[in-house]
Amino acid sequence: MRVAPVHIMLCCLLAAGSAAAGGRMDLVVFPDGYQEDFTRYLTTNRANGKAQMVHIYANDGALHSADETQPLGQGAILVMEIYKAEENAEGNALKAADGTYKPGKLAAIAVMEKRDWGHRYPAVDRSGHWGFGFYDGAGQPKPNDLDCAGCHNPLTEHDYLFSWSALKDFARNRGD
């Protein structure tokens, strides 16, 4: 069977669209050294209902603008380490005393960066000015079939962030 060039082009466009929905690692780059340079402001269970625990970090720009403005300013970067929950012998997710899942294997690192992307990053694939990147534990691009923007877009009143309140509270109470 012969595949028409138009069908090949359509498949490439569809694949590119789904890749963008799961992140644009060509634009939202992995912030090397984030564990030292950023501040961890939250450890919680992931908002998607899966047995996952996350650590979320913010750069100084995000922390300073969280203390001052809504929405956050351009240049804000958030990093979320996603850990699969540790399991018992029966395969049940284990929780710590505070109710968070006990962290097992690092599954991925998600990055959100806020910039004026212009036409380089289509608005349909981002949340406001927030762009997304998805990486493995070594900071290498990781395939992602999730629609990051689709989950974040309903959160317009919180600058598209699930951790908006935690970030604002942390920034307000950190005392610098």
**Residue 153 — pLDDT band, cuts 50, 70, 90?**
very high
pLDDT above 50: residue 4: no
Residue 124: alpha-carbon gap to chain centroid? 16
* Least confident stretch, 10-24, 36-50, 152-166: 10-24
The two three-digit tokens of residue 2, written as one number: 């012969």
- Per-residue pLDDT tens digits for 44-74: 999 888 999 999 999 999 999 998 767 999 9
* Average pLDDT of span 20-29: 87
Beta-carbon contacts of residue 95 (< 8 Å; ≥ 6 apart):
85, 101, 102
Coil/strand/helix, residue 118: helix
Among left, alpha and beta (phi > 0; psi -120 to 50; other), residue 139 is left
- Per-residue pLDDT tens digits for 90-100: 999 999 999 99
pTM > 0.75: yes or no: yes
Q: What is the pLDDT of residue 146?
A: 87
Helix, strand, coil percentages in the chain from 3-state DSSP, rounded to 5: 30, 25, 40
Q: Spelled out in words, what is the top-level CATH class assigned to the domain 27-173?
A: alpha beta
Tell me the one-letter amino acid at 23. Answer: G
Q: What is the pLDDT of residue 68?
A: 79
How high does pLDDT run on average in the chain? 88
